[in-house]
Structure 1
Amino acid sequence: MTNTKCQFVVNHEPQETRVAVLEDGILQELHIQRADAVGLVGNVYRATVMRILPGLEAAFVDFGEPKNGFLGLADIDAPLLMNKANSGKEDQPPTIKNLLHEGQNIIVQVIKDAVDAKGARVTMKVSIASRYLVFMPAGNAVKVSHLIKSRDERKRLKTQLRCMFEEFNRAAKPHQGTFILRSDAADIDMQSLKIDLQFLLDTWSSVLLAKGQSKSPGCIYIDLPVTQRLIRDIAPRQLNEVIVDDQQIYDDLYHFWSHYYGEESLALTCVSHAPNIFNGYGIDDEIHRALFRRLDLDDGGYVIFDEAEAMTTIDINTGSHVGQHDLEKTVFQTNLKSISVITQQIRLRNLSGIIIIDFIDMQNQHHRQQILSSLKKMMENDPVNATISHFTELGLIQIRRKRSYNSLRQILMTDCSTCQGSGVLKSLDTVMLEMWRELSGAAKAYESSHLQLRASSEMIDFVKASKVSISKTLERQFNCTIEIVDEPSFVREKFDIVSI
């Protein structure tokens, strides 16, 4: 995010807080926290193992929420439990059955919110972050962010932190754990690092105390509110301005900033009298646009986003961009122009899991390499971990992006009650033929002289305009009267047949 102006714009209403992240004035991320659907990611819970699933090498745990959490083998603090479970059989590969048992009380942290019918995903590898450090109670090591390049600085930080940790352990109850020095710790003075270390150890002590006092599954540590969490997770040196429209949010952020970042300056502004702070920055329009399946490019091309449960596919098309004389150049230009839109929308829509990008076919290998390099370069600003593949044999690029929070579509949208989320409806011809078959079957079954067909206004208009009259044909065939009744509340595919 070097040389990029970063702004947070915070809109607060009684039931919802929205935080827009703008980079150079362009909306890149939207974080939403609703009063009746607060995200659980980052919270720590006392949990009870409810069911072991050996076939999946996983377990379901009750952590105090309506749906049990899913705990996979990879998310179990295996080294710690193996000492208890294996009794000297360390050479055996760990399995879910010899690490956990039903009824066991454990500490877990939510790493992925519940989605639809799936419960939250949890981990026993708990981590708690502060400004300069990340603390994980498992293990016993000091690590440094790869973003700190200087060998001397890495050595200085590791040495000083180890000394501080040993000093704390001599003065108080010994702790164990792993510390990761974040990128913002570069060139930091040791007093500030000591304050961070004390905060994390005190926080973890309070978590253990809450677990001991808790008699049933439930939350024992709540992560920061969305506004404060975002400030914590982005290096303050990269944050230029925060604008809020609520006085209480302003006061909370001011005290949070003063406590964590002391004398460092931040342009924090409250515009509580603004009618709609998002409109002033064009944010609501961008949110609306991010819900479209199709986004048009300036040159006439367009991009299609299809978000499904298994993966998201992104398809680029030339559209009306026909270029001049060189097809390969036209295709390359359209693909290149689409990258800024794709990378922005991946972050804004919070697309995660497997993402497949189907660029327009290019024969020129140099063009392919340029597209891949440009995509990787544009994805560097994404704070979410993502792995980008090379072009496959089919000309596709695969991205695996870490999934934590629900996507924008999952938060703001719900499946259509008519199409049940498929995005398509039966054609008018198909529904009319279904009516024909149902009416024919009803005339035979009821042996009635009077049938009533109730259907939507759209279908009745279509039936009346049809060259073949359903009612007259069936009336002659079965010697009955068919009455057609308009039901304005019916959708296209819904109709009823009643014997009068």
Structure 2
Amino acid sequence: MNKELIINASPSGVEIAFLEEKKLVELHNEKSDANFGVGDLYLGKVKKLIPGLNAAFIDVGFEKDAFLHYTDLSPYVKSLLKFTQMAIVDKDDNGFDFSKFNIEPEIVKTGKINEVLNGKPSILVQILKEPIAAKGPRLSCELSLPGRFIVVTPFNEIVAVSKKIHSGEERKRLQKIVESIRPKNFGVIVRTAAEGKSTAEIHQDLLSLIDTWNSIQANLKNAVAPAKILSEQNRATSILRDLLSADFNRIVINDKNIYNDTKSYIDKIAPDKTDIVSYHNGPLPIFDTYGVTKQVKSAFGKTVNLPSGAYLIIEHTEALHVIDVNSGYKSVSNSQEENALQTNLEAAEEIARQLRLRDIGGIIVVDFIDMKLPDNRKQLQEAMEKFMQTDRAKHAVLPISKFGLMQLTRQRMRPELSINTSEVCPVCSGTGKISSTLLLEDEIEKRLQYLISHSHKNLMLMVHPILYSHLTKGIFNSIFKRWKRKHKTKLSIEANNNFHLIEFKFYDENEEEIKF
């Protein structure tokens, strides 16, 4: 599968389009003034404990306090609190040796938050979810530092290997490598991308993450809450870190600084892929050149058309998203059941793409076209699960109910991406209604009478070509000729293609527009 990353930088921020086989599947928008991104680390101050929710509100500098639930505290939160205080008051220029840090006992899963955060201390937290709507960020104390091949989790000794690596031998090999190079007090999760990698490559990734942890420790020194301690990489490099594979064949960027940063980052993590990065300096905008703009405009409306003629209706409510599948004029056979199956399979692929593209999270209910055969329903469910495999967000697909509805859940990490692809009609101003022709004629004649009564002569009326044809229809008895005879004035009329249907203007003898 060919994969491309098109990066469009502008003064307001950076837009990143991820294409698979020339088809837009993800669109990320990183604003230049954006804060509180997923993965950022903050020194927060406990503001309020809510025993009824078993949660706390933490001040991290956002306009609304962030939310921290007991289940997101981490079993090692006592060690985290101790480390945070030690790092803040540390007087050693080089920082204390974390490998000699004494780990505190784990907290119980069924405990109370006021027992752990009593005294409202300062605490190191990580953004779990960005602020969405009126809610502040959601936090976690289970700190994790993701790398290319591994994820480091401090305050434990656990080594885990991704379940997506199916080979038992490979899993054992990676487990032994990590256990032999892992420093004390650091747990390590081996990512799927580590499959087949050498000890040197994994060790280099680990050293880089240990350096990051040392930076966190140094940044905590003398810090006063609320304060940002560490920023996640920019969106472009974080996407590359998670997605870069042999399938990538092009990365195009229109900003020199981002181009140089991306080039050096790829040179560090995959030196053999540096030639896929190129700088765009053409006459057209980068998204227009690579067909992204057209795909955005066609994919973000309420109605999404499919190649066969079928279409989706995507509706958003406060509680969930609803997607309706309509067959349109698609017909592949004389069998209604077969037509329904083929349309549903085509729709399932597009729905999986739309969820990634719009970053839709929460509960999604899909109303597929009814199918009677259980085997067809099962085939559709399996196809949906297959299409969703490339989605990095956690998700679950439930079987189709007896009402023909499929329920999905998808992890919501960031606000849903919504792009308005419609415009307000310049004629009706969005009301869906315009004046009838008779009312319009009356309005023009009233304006004409007003101008004549105020001593205006030699008037010229300018209108849309269709309205011009209506007013001048008939050689001797047109509406325009009747006006001239009735009001005994010099009046001319002209058509203007730039006017909308019911727009009209009067001009005086100096060809200056008369304002009302």
Seen in structure 2, the aligned counterparts of structure 1 residues 203 and 288 have a Cα distance that, compared at 3 Å, is same
Aligned twin of 1:436: none
SS where residue 287 of structure 2 aligns?
Answer: helix
Seen in structure 2, the aligned counterparts of structure 1 residues 111 and 35 have a Cα distance that, compared at 3 Å, is same
Aligned twin of 2:374: 365
Whether 2:54 is the aligned partner of 1:45: answer no
Seen in structure 2, the aligned counterparts of structure 1 residues 344 and 83 have a Cα distance that, compared at 3 Å, is closer
| Partner Cα distance (1:295, 1:231) in 2 | 29
Aligned twin of 2:11: 14
Whether 2:311 is the aligned partner of 1:302: answer yes
- Offset at 1:263? 4.4
Structure 2: stretches of 5+ with no match in the other structure: 83-103, 425-429, 441-516
Whether 2:247 is the aligned partner of 1:233: answer no
Cα-Cα RMSD: 3.0
Which of the residues 147, 151, 173 maps onto 1:130? 147
| Partner Cα distance (2:301, 2:145) in 1 | 37
Aligned AA (1:130): G
Aligned twin of 1:346: 355
- Offset at 1:401? 1.0
Aligned twin of 1:255: 264
Aligned twin of 1:405: 414
| Partner Cα distance (1:108, 1:83) in 2 | 9
Aligned twin of 2:51: 54
Within 5 Å, which residues of 2 pair with 1:76-475?
76-81=73-78, 93-101=110-118, 103-165=120-182, 168=183, 175-321=184-330, 325-409=334-418, 412=419
Q: Deviations over 1:238-281 (max 9, x none)?
A: 32221112222111111111223334554111122342111122
Percent identity at matched positions? 28
Seen in structure 2, the aligned counterparts of structure 1 residues 364 and 109 have a Cα distance that, compared at 3 Å, is same
| 1:82 and 1:99 in contact (8 A); partners too | no
Aligned twin of 2:484: none
Seen in structure 2, the aligned counterparts of structure 1 residues 83 and 346 have a Cα distance that, compared at 3 Å, is closer
| Partner Cα distance (1:399, 1:225) in 2 | 30
Seen in structure 2, the aligned counterparts of structure 1 residues 239 and 324 have a Cα distance that, compared at 3 Å, is closer
Aligned AA (1:300): G
| 2:55 and 2:70 in contact (8 A); partners too | yes
Aligned twin of 2:469: none
| Partner Cα distance (1:83, 1:111) in 2 | 17
- Offset at 1:298? 2.9
| Partner Cα distance (1:40, 1:413) in 2 | 24
| 2:263 and 2:274 in contact (8 A); partners too | no
Q: Deviations over 1:96-133 (max 9, x none)?
A: 22222352111111121111211111111111111111
| Partner Cα distance (1:309, 1:266) in 2 | 46
Aligned AA (1:344): R
Aligned AA (1:129): P
Aligned twin of 2:504: none
Seen in structure 2, the aligned counterparts of structure 1 residues 248 and 328 have a Cα distance that, compared at 3 Å, is same
| 2:263 and 2:277 in contact (8 A); partners too | yes
| 1:52 and 1:102 in contact (8 A); partners too | no
| Partner Cα distance (2:144, 2:244) in 1 | 18
- Offset at 1:39? 5.5
SS where residue 46 of structure 2 aligns?
Answer: strand
| 1:145 and 1:182 in contact (8 A); partners too | yes
Q: Deviations over 1:394-421 (max 9, x none)?
A: 2211111111122211xx459999xxxx
| 2:300 and 2:421 in contact (8 A); partners too | no
- Offset at 1:300? 2.9
| Partner Cα distance (1:257, 1:101) in 2 | 45
SS where residue 258 of structure 1 aligns?
Answer: helix
- Offset at 1:66? 2.1
Seen in structure 2, the aligned counterparts of structure 1 residues 343 and 91 have a Cα distance that, compared at 3 Å, is closer
Deviates more, 1:293-302 or 1:57-66: 293-302
Seen in structure 2, the aligned counterparts of structure 1 residues 251 and 426 have a Cα distance that, compared at 3 Å, is closer
| Partner Cα distance (1:89, 1:183) in 2 | 28
- Offset at 1:303? 0.7
Aligned twin of 1:34: 31
| Partner Cα distance (1:462, 1:121) in 2 | 57
Aligned twin of 2:20: 23
| 2:57 and 2:68 in contact (8 A); partners too | yes
SS where residue 240 of structure 1 aligns?
Answer: strand
Seen in structure 2, the aligned counterparts of structure 1 residues 279 and 53 have a Cα distance that, compared at 3 Å, is same
| Partner Cα distance (1:242, 1:41) in 2 | 23
- Offset at 1:229? 1.0
- Offset at 1:326? 2.6
- Offset at 1:377? 1.2
| 2:76 and 2:107 in contact (8 A); partners too | no
Aligned AA (2:153): M
Which of the residues 61, 65, 71 maps onto 1:68? 65
| 1:133 and 1:197 in contact (8 A); partners too | yes
- Offset at 1:207? 0.9
| Partner Cα distance (1:83, 1:340) in 2 | 44
| 2:71 and 2:109 in contact (8 A); partners too | no
- Offset at 1:349? 0.9
| 2:80 and 2:123 in contact (8 A); partners too | no
| 2:130 and 2:137 in contact (8 A); partners too | yes
